[in-house]
Amino acid sequence: LSDCEKITYRYKGPAHEFRVCMTAVTDDDYHTKNVSASSDWTEVSVTWGNLKQASDWGKDIEFDAASIDKLSWQIKDGVGKTGTLYIDDVTCVGGQSNVENITDETSFVIAPNPAKNGVANIYVAERCDVTVTDMTGRIVAQFVAVPELDNKISVRNTGIYVVKAGNSIQKLIVK
């Protein structure tokens, strides 16, 4: 993500904050952009310079794209408000791809494998559903992976896991 010039995504739903979470931010005062409600699918484009931290609380941390931990969205229509926010087509624009090692026989790459501390990234050539199961067949993680992003797989216990991305299957070892 640090090579991205901007993040784009499409959404439909209530007003929300697009949040970029960095490892250096420990008080939830993430770098955010406020986005207004839309009943139709709407595209948002966010450059790193568009992001701001709250001015009235939290410790100000200089933005560092290299320390991005995750992207998130939070509905912001008021205290106690709920709703459904639909997000689609999250894209890193202008970044470098980590999928150059993907071949026709394999539609995704897991790295590192073996994983340490239960965390690995999955790099996909195409947007797809990912399911991670333990050796008993119990689902331990499920998400949609998107090309150009570091899609994290996080599992708690050491062992061997089966990762299915789209129609391809690979083994993940967690040490």
- pLDDT tens string 29-71: 899 999 999 999 999 999 888 899 988 888 888 888 888 888 8
- Helix (H) / strand (E) element for 144: namely strand 139-145
- Determine the topology of domain 108-174 in CATH: Immunoglobulin-like (2.60.40)
Instruction: Report the pLDDT averaged over residues 142-169.
Output: 88
User: Does residue 23 come out as left (phi exceeding 0), alpha (psi in the -120 to 50 range) or beta?
Assistant: alpha
* Beta carbons within 8 Å of 43's beta carbon, 6+ residues apart: 8, 9, 10, 89
Tokens 């969205």 belong to which residue?
A: 73
d(CA 56, CA 83): 26
Q: Which residues make up the CATH 2.60.40.10 domain(s) of the chain?
A: 108-174
Least confident of 3-12, 46-55, 102-111, 116-125: 102-111
Estimate to the nearest angstrom the gap between the alpha carbon of 28 and the chain centroid.
17
pLDDT at 25 over 90: no
Instruction: Report the pLDDT averaged over residues 65-89.
Output: 81
